[in-house]
Amino acid sequence: MTSPMSLSLAAEFPRATEAQWRAAVDAVLKGKPFDKTLVGRTADGIAIQPLYPRVADAAPLAGRAGGAPWTIVQRADQPDPRDANVQALDDLTNGASGLAIVTRGAIGDHRGDGLVLDSLADLDQLLDGVMLDLIPLRVDAGTSAGHVAALLAAKVARDKLDPASLTMAFGIDPIGAFARRGTLENWNGAAAKAADMVLGLRKRGFAGTQVIADGRVIHDAGGSEAQELAFALGAAVQYLRVLEQAGLSLDEARRAIAVLVAADADQFLTSAKLRAIRQLWARVETACGLSPSRLELHAETAWRMTTKVDPAVNWLRTTMACFAAGIGGADHVTVQPWTAAIGLPDAFARRIARNTQLILIEESNLHRVADPAAGSGGVEALTSELCEAAWALFQDSERAGGVVAALSGGTIQVAVAKARLARQAAIAKRREPLTGTSEFPNIHELTPEVLHPVPRLANRQVAPVELPEAAKGERFEATVAAFDAGAFRAALSRPKTDTIFVDPLAPIRLAEPFEALRAALDAVTAKTGKRPQVFLAVLGPVAAFTPRATFARNLFEAGGFEAPIPEAFADGAGLLAAFKASGARIACICSSDELYATNAIPTAEALTTAGAAQTWLAGRPGEQEDALKSAGVGGFVFAGCDVIDCLNAAKAALGE
């Protein structure tokens, strides 16, 4: 008797071939080009095929151990350390397993209201009740990373903790800080200080990683996946050189380096990106004569994908990003709360951020399999092609003298700007839709609550403390001693003596152009008590006008207008009466091409006579364009038009 477990449900069906599939597809396409119709492209030009074969000989990448969950990291970014401590303890008590200290001015401080750590007393308040020997800790402090590292070293020594037992990523990253700020004293000086910090921490016995190559600065600024990978790899290699020159062996130096990348809602690209950085780093290790070892990999959900309008959609975005980072092999994942773009997240938003991860781990068991994407034709292909594209960009920066030289020369900024402008153009034309923002907007949504803390200023009225030059950890030790004696951070800071000034890689959010329009019309609504309206002049029966009326409503409401779809009008007189009763200054004619041929021109003339300051037509004008414009049609809305331009023109017609 055949065991039920051995049954093959497909045994009675012949195995399909790719040629048969392609023949069936071509029959459906009816002459349309396969590559343009079914093959997508990433921002780096990598083709995304509709079908991939399984990669039979693929092996899992060496990453997070199979069966081991990633660390659920929560951000400690409240300006006041006391408030941040309350949040951190609540997070750790309710499922978080790690913390990220995000100070003001850090790469992760997108709103400019991050944590202010002035002294050892502040750090004590922040970490009161936090068991540092039980959780991983990551520091995101920008140019203040050395000071925060010294504060942590002073606290660990005073609390008599064993540094070797702690899991800390100190986040020293002068290259990322340079890219974000756009200024640098000079690379030799910055490198010497970074090496001094690393040597000082290692002399104190700290395990974990001391420097981090942070790709978020590229992603935040609108860069592509390959650009982010190339930047992170270039920064890591530059740090490898710095630490080797400081006296560490290559094996010691590589173990001091971690990588941090952004995870966005493109599941396959994000997973492939995380897998790619491990392969790229292994290639560098091999080139250095080292056997590849496991890279410490951090991921944080992307800032640029978050939205202020319809922010609940951010739950879906961050869930997908976290899913992709988890199966992509991240060791530590930070989920940005869903209200992060609006303001400082409250307890509920933080709860959703950590519960997103808890559900994926505890209920979905995503962590049980090491590298579950191994062998997937699509993900393997994306991983491989991202590696090739990123390696080529990395080599370009190496030929320029390294990533710092490439930043100083502006080549990285120019490339990122090109990628950003291309993406923004695609979003403006809704070829890359933003759900809840450019597509399916909800103009009647309620804005969720966020926290409004009192701004906390750093202490500036202190006498300076003299520090030795950066060398083999002496400057770091002096900084630790000063903090231990009660010094404020300002006493250890010096006026900037930067000599390199370049265009900074400032963070953006992709939804900002739509949000600016929404905010302007929300202000008009608040002032007048009535939301600006676009009157949809529908022609003919419901079946004729519904597709384009729905399209037009979606488009105009994405800019903050109200554009209700009316019932079918009995005649032109009824349409004009409804337009006058609406009080709208803007109208949009919506119907089928057949009805446009006979009714669009007289309808446009009638609307202009009735007082329409601006009239649109939903659809492409075709041969009637000149006649329609002469009749009063000022613009056309259709799939592929620049929606931002259309909405700005409509806003201008309000005269506000």
Tokens 């290692």 belong to residue:
202
Check whether residue 407 and residue 552 sit in a common domain: no
Q: Which of 448, 478, 501 is the last residue before a domain boundary? A: 501
Angle at 640 between CA 637 and CA 645, to 5 degrees: 60
Tell me whether residue 46 is in a domain: no
**pLDDT over 90 (residue 370):** no
Q: Measured between alpha carbons, how far is 572 from 537 in angstroms, rounded to an integer?
A: 10
Quick one: pLDDT at residue 464? 87
Q: Measured between alpha carbons, how far is 147 from 115 in angstroms, rounded to an integer?
A: 13
SS3 content of the chain, % helix, strand, coil (to 5): 50, 10, 40
- Average pLDDT for 190-199: 97
Check whether residue 272 and residue 187 sit in a common domain: yes
State both tokens at 653. 């017609």
Quick one: pLDDT at residue 463? 82
Quick one: pLDDT at residue 3? 54
Asked if residues 210 and 487 have their Cβ atoms less than 8 Å apart, the reply is no
- Average pLDDT for 135-155: 97
Question: For 318, how many CA atoms within 13 A lie in the half-sphere containing its CB?
Answer: 28
Residue-averaged pLDDT of the chain:
95
State both tokens at 32. 């349309």
Sign of CA dihedral 648, 316, 390, 176: positive
pLDDT single digits (tens) 42-83: 999 999 999 999 998 888 888 888 789 999 999 999 999 999
- Average pLDDT for 261-286: 97
Q: Measured between alpha carbons, how far is 503 from 412 in angstroms, rounded to an integer?
A: 10
Quick one: pLDDT at residue 57? 86
**Residue type present at position 465:** V
Quick one: how far is CA 113 from the chain centroid? 18
State both tokens at 143. 């140019």
Tell me whether residue 191 is in a domain: yes
Tell me whether residue 467 is in a domain: no
Quick one: pLDDT at residue 1? 45
Write out the DSSP string of 347-382. Answer: HHHHHHHHHHHHIIIIIT-GGGSSSTTTT-HHHHHH
Tell me whether residue 320 is in a domain: yes
pLDDT single digits (tens) 305-318: 999 999 999 999 99
Looking at residue 614, which CATH number applies to its domain? 3.40.50.280
Asked if residues 99 and 137 have their Cβ atoms less than 8 Å apart, the reply is yes
Check whether residue 432 and residue 538 sit in a common domain: no
Check whether residue 419 and residue 553 sit in a common domain: no
Q: Measured between alpha carbons, how far is 539 from 591 in angstroms, rounded to an integer?
A: 5
**pLDDT over 80 (residue 2):** no
Tell me whether residue 638 is in a domain: yes
Show the domain range for 563. Answer: 512-652
Q: Which residue has the higher pLDDT, 537 or 2?
A: 537
Check whether residue 82 and residue 200 sit in a common domain: yes
Quick one: pLDDT at residue 498? 86
Q: Which of 501, 526, 545 is the last residue before a domain boundary? A: 501
pLDDT single digits (tens) 312-336: 999 999 999 999 999 999 999 999 9
Check whether residue 273 and residue 136 sit in a common domain: yes
Q: Where are the alpha helices (DSSP H) in 400-468?
A: 403-409, 411-428
**Parallel/antiparallel/unpaired status of strands 500-501 and 183-184:** antiparallel
**Residue 460: band (very low, low, confident or very high) from pLDDT cuts 50, 70, 90:** low
Check whether residue 291 and residue 150 sit in a common domain: yes
CA distances from 440 to 40, 288, 518, 537 (A): 23, 52, 14, 21
**Residues 6+ positions from 407 with CB-CB distance below 8 Å:** 175, 178, 179, 413, 502
Check whether residue 399 and residue 527 sit in a common domain: no
Q: Measured between alpha carbons, how far is 448 from 55 in angstroms, rounded to an integer?
A: 46
Look at the chain and count its residues.
Answer: 656
Q: Measured between alpha carbons, how far is 579 from 556 in angstroms, rounded to an integer?
A: 17
Q: Measured between alpha carbons, how far is 426 from 344 in angstroms, rounded to an integer?
A: 30
Count CB neighbours of 639 within 10 A.
Answer: 11
**Residue type present at position 453:** P
pLDDT single digits (tens) 410-438: 999 999 999 999 999 999 999 999 999 99
pLDDT single digits (tens) 105-120: 999 999 999 999 999 9
Quick one: pLDDT at residue 461? 65
**Residue 7: band (very low, low, confident or very high) from pLDDT cuts 50, 70, 90:** low
Write out the DSSP string of 125-159. Answer: HHTTT--TTTSEEEEE-GGGHHHHHHHHHHHHHHT
Q: Measured between alpha carbons, how far is 260 from 300 in angstroms, rounded to an integer?
A: 8
Element (H, E) at 337: none
State both tokens at 277. 């950085």
Check whether residue 423 and residue 304 sit in a common domain: yes
Q: Measured between alpha carbons, how far is 86 from 90 in angstroms, rounded to an integer?
A: 6
Angle at 568 between CA 566 and CA 573, to 5 degrees: 95
- Average pLDDT for 613-628: 95
Count CB neighbours of 582 within 10 A.
Answer: 16
Report how many domains make up the chain.
Answer: 2
**pLDDT over 80 (residue 8):** no
Quick one: pLDDT at residue 58? 86
Looking at residue 156, which CATH number applies to its domain? 3.20.20.240
pLDDT single digits (tens) 383-401: 999 999 999 999 999 999 9
Tell me whether residue 454 is in a domain: no
Q: Which of 464, 465, 460 is nearest to 481 (CA)?
A: 465
Share of residues in the chain with pLDDT > 70 (%): 98
Give pTM, 2 decimals: 0.94
Tell me whether residue 178 is in a domain: yes
Share of residues in the chain with pLDDT > 90 (%): 88
- Average pLDDT for 514-535: 96
Check whether residue 400 and residue 547 sit in a common domain: no
Q: Where are the alpha helices (DSSP H) in 537-621?
A: 542-557, 572-582, 593-609
Under DSSP, the state recorded for 109 is -
Check whether residue 417 and residue 551 sit in a common domain: no
Tell me whether residue 539 is in a domain: yes
Under DSSP, the state recorded for 165 is G
Q: Which of 460, 480, 501 is the last residue before a domain boundary? A: 501
Check whether residue 132 and residue 226 sit in a common domain: yes
Element (H, E) at 258: strand 257-263
